[in-house]
Amino acid sequence: MPLVKLYANLRNIAGTKELSITGASLGQALSELVRQCPALDGLILENGQIRPHFVITINGLNAIDLDAVVTEQDMIAIFPPIAGGQSNPHPLPLSLWESGTPFPHRGKGWG
């Protein structure tokens, strides 16, 4: 079975760094990955395509074709951009910037 390695926040979302999955193609492997880790549903694939800015490699070479063949010896690595991103619902007033006040960091994913 191909080995899938997850990076960055995908590890927290999936609850694991790596897992072995079945699948004869990259697309099948990713579908199986989502089946085993439902929390990843919608994060990696969107409308049947790899989401923008995700980097997926097979044995270290970039893979963009979901029909790419994978074998038991292959290692699939998935790097998120990190998933998501959202507009800031509460922009700071301009006066705060101009006063020289340092940006009040709000922890993870400031937006």
Partner 1 sequence: MTGWNEKILDVDLTTQTYKTYPLDMEMARLFIGGRGLGARLLWDLVGPEVDPLSPENVLIFTNGPLTATGYQTSNRFSVTTKSPLTGTVLDANSGGFWGMQFKKAGYDVMIVRGKAEKPVWIEIKNDVITFHDASDLWGMRVFALTEKLGQNNNKRNVLCIGPAGENLSRIASIMNDRERALARGGPGAVMGSKNLKAIVVEGKDRTQIDDPERFKFLLYETRKLLAASPLTSQALPEFGTVVLMNIMNNIGALATRNHQQTQFEGAEAISGEELTEKYLVKNSSCWACPIGCTRISKTEKVEGEGPEFESTWAFGAQCGIDDLPAIIEANSLCNDLGLDTISAGSTIACGMELSEKGYMDADLRFGRADQLAPVLEAMAYRRDIGSDLADGSLRLATKYGHPELSMSAKGMEMPAYDPRGMQGQGLLYATSNRGGCHMRGNMVGPEVLGLPKLIDRFQVQGKSSFVILHQNVSAAIDSLVVCKFTNMGVADEYFARVLSSVTGIHYDTGEMTRVGERVWNLERLYNLREGFSMKDDTLPPRLLNEAPADGPSQGWVVQLEPMLKEYYRGRVWDENGIPKKQKLEELGLASLI
Q: Does residue 82 touch partner 1 according to CB under 8 A? A: yes
Mark out the alpha helices in 1-111 (DSSP H runs).
Answer: 9-14, 26-36, 94-98
Q: Does residue 60 touch partner 1 according to CB under 8 A? A: yes
CA separation for the pair 14, 12 (Å, rounded):
6
Q: Does residue 111 touch partner 1 according to CB under 8 A? A: yes
Q: Does residue 86 touch partner 1 according to CB under 8 A? A: yes
Q: Does residue 36 touch partner 1 according to CB under 8 A? A: no
Q: What are the tokens at 111?
A: 């937006």
DSSP state of 96: H
Burial class (CB in 10 A: 0-12, 13-18, 19+), 84: exposed
Q: Which of 61, 67, 72, 73 is close enough to bind partner 1 by CB under 8 A?
A: 61
- Please give the residue ranges that form the binding site for partner 1 (CB under 8 A): 5, 7-9, 11, 52-53, 55, 57, 59-62, 64, 77, 79-88, 91, 94, 97-98, 100-103, 105, 107-111
